[in-house]
Amino acid sequence: MSHKLKKELRVVLYSHDSQGLGHTRRNLAIAHALAATLPGLTGRQVTGLLVTGESSATRFDSPEGWDWVVLPGIRKGADGYTPRHLAIGQKKLVRLRSSMTDAVLAQFKPHLVIVDRHAFGVDGELRQALVALRKARPACRIVLGLREVLDSPSVAKREWKNLGDLDHLADTFNALWVYGDPGFHDPVRTGEIPARLSPLVRYTGYLSAGRVSRRRTSGARRPYLLTMAGGGSDGLDVLLTAARATLPEKYEHLIITGPQLPKEHRIQVEQAATPGTRVLGSVRDALAEIKEASAIVSMGGYNSVCEIMSTSTPALIVPRISPRREQLIRAESLARHDLLDVCHPEEFTSAALSRWFTSVAGSDVDRSAVDLAGLESVAGLAADLLDTHLLEDWTSSEAV
């Protein structure tokens, strides 16, 4: 029997993905940060799996040594989650997704698991898998990653209550990482995170600085204005209003609808577009387009806001206000500190946008006051959790 130590450090990042691409792109940014930084902090090569429920996620570039696991898709229905594609019941779908995730954790044998947003996954699909992982690999570190704004405190409290015993949750997770700056929004202080869990909370800063970016693919000529709607599934009203805006002289307007906007809706946006406006369904890398834009209009999802704040480009956020208040809370919090502008959807008109474009295009916004170094912090927190000596003991016991 060989006693050669295993040198790889295995990581699993889970995101449920029911709407938009924000969860997957957040995990992808974390994966790139861990792949780039953890080897230097731990002396180990990092390899990992990105578990996602969004089939289009695989078009994004994963780090070297990483791969994708795509679960059957879900969507949000009027009465909860439902299958996105498969003609089976939700209970069967959850069992299928659960068995796939259980197999990933059992066979890949990770040292670190980071669960995005939903502690036990959709409809509890992760609960048994995490219990089994805790039993089989008690040294595995399990983290719950949370955006800085969950929802209104009353809604957040109800969601925590629905998860059941908080003591069990605290026993399952080694840490709760909040991807934000508590000086701008503190979910513990607002009551969005229960006081019982506060000892586990670590604030990382926003996951903004240091994101991996590729070259632009839109072909838009500079200078240009940019409008985005995340994945696009609920962005039609914002896109149509932006398409009708009058542009400042010498500026083009690039609209990225998102891959989840239905084709017939994209045609509506194209037909509404004023001269100088170009409409694309998607681009290879939204951050690359953001970096060179002269002004940006966007919905207020966490990932989009983080990418915007990694630049000095002025931004107008038109937040989703239903069924969650998360985007509105985030946008208003950051607007109070002059990091971006916010417009309530009911007040968002083409005329108002035309005036905003004219007033800010080409100017810069100072965002140095907010902690944007969350990706660097995540790598350090992961290294602290894993602890080099613990890894040596662990891999010695796993030698084959």
**What does the pLDDT look like over 320-351, one tens digit per residue?**
998 889 999 999 999 999 999 999 999 999 99
**Higher local confidence (pLDDT), 213 or 364:** 364
pLDDT band at 92 (very low <50, low <70, confident <90, very high): very high
Q: For position 139, what pLDDT does the model report?
A: 92
Task: Determine the distance from the C-alpha atom of residue 148 to the mean position of all C-alpha atoms in its chain, rounded to a whole number.
Answer: 11
Is the confidence at residue 143, as pLDDT, over 80?
A: yes
Q: Which residues contact 320 (CB under 8 A, 6 or more apart)?
A: 234, 299, 300, 301, 326, 327, 328, 345
* C-alpha angle 324-285-251 in degrees, rounded to nearest 5: 90
- Provide the 8-state DSSP code for 207: B
- 3-state secondary structure at position 317: strand
**CB crowding 94-103: b at 16 or more within 10 Å, else e:** bebbbebbbe
Q: Where are the beta strands (DSSP E) in 184-276?
A: 201-203, 224-228, 252-256
pLDDT band at 126 (very low <50, low <70, confident <90, very high): very high
Per-residue pLDDT tens digits for 28-76: 999 999 999 999 999 999 999 999 998 888 988 899 999 999 999 998 8
Contact (Cβ atoms closer than 8 angstroms) between residue 176 and residue 141: no
Q: Rounded to an integer, what distance in angstroms lies between the CA atom of residue 143 and that of residue 383?
A: 13
Can you name the residues that pair with 50 across neighbouring β-strands?
A: 13, 68
- 3-state secondary structure at position 61: coil
Identify the CA nearest to 67 among candidates 108, 26, 36: 108
Q: What is the mean pLDDT of residues 9-35?
A: 90
pLDDT band at 389 (very low <50, low <70, confident <90, very high): low
376 φ/ψ angles, rounded to the nearest 5 degrees: -65, -40
Is the confidence at residue 393, as pLDDT, over 80?
A: no
Beta-strand pair 74-77/141-147: unpaired
Q: Rounded to an integer, what distance in angstroms lies between the CA atom of residue 68 and that of residue 56?
A: 11
Mean pLDDT computed over every residue of the chain: 92
Is the confidence at residue 1, as pLDDT, over 50?
A: no
Sole residue written with tokens 């002059």: 338
Q: Which long-range contacts (CB under 8 A, 24 or more apart) does 153-160 make?
A: 153/190, 153/191, 153/192, 155/324, 155/325, 156/187, 156/191, 156/192, 156/193, 157/191, 157/192, 157/194, 160/193, 160/194
Sole residue written with tokens 């796993």: 398
Q: What is the DSSP string of 266-279?
A: HHHHHHHPPTTEEE
Q: For position 231, what pLDDT does the model report?
A: 84
**CB crowding 330-356: b at 16 or more within 10 Å, else e:** bbbbbbeeebbbbbebeebebeebbeb
Q: Rounded to an integer, what distance in angstroms lies between the CA atom of residue 117 and that of residue 252?
A: 37
Q: For position 276, what pLDDT does the model report?
A: 95
Is the confidence at residue 259, as pLDDT, over 50?
A: yes
119-128, 190-199, 216-225, range with the lowest pLDDT:
216-225
104 φ/ψ angles, rounded to the nearest 5 degrees: -60, -50
Q: For position 388, what pLDDT does the model report?
A: 59
Is the confidence at residue 397, as pLDDT, over 80?
A: no
Q: What is the mean pLDDT of residues 161-181?
A: 96
pLDDT band at 396 (very low <50, low <70, confident <90, very high): low
Is the confidence at residue 392, as pLDDT, over 70?
A: no
* Domains of the chain, start order: 8-209+373-392 (3.40.50.2000), 224-360 (3.40.50.2000)
Q: For position 17, what pLDDT does the model report?
A: 82
Is the confidence at residue 3, as pLDDT, over 90?
A: no
Identify the CA nearest to 16 among candidates 44, 46, 53, 45: 53
pLDDT band at 215 (very low <50, low <70, confident <90, very high): confident
Radius of gyration in angstroms for the set of CA atoms belonging to the chain, rounded to a whole number: 21
Identify the CA nearest to 242 among candidates 369, 114, 343: 343
Is the confidence at residue 395, as pLDDT, over 70?
A: no
Q: For position 232, what pLDDT does the model report?
A: 86
Is the confidence at residue 95, as pLDDT, over 50?
A: yes
pLDDT band at 184 (very low <50, low <70, confident <90, very high): very high
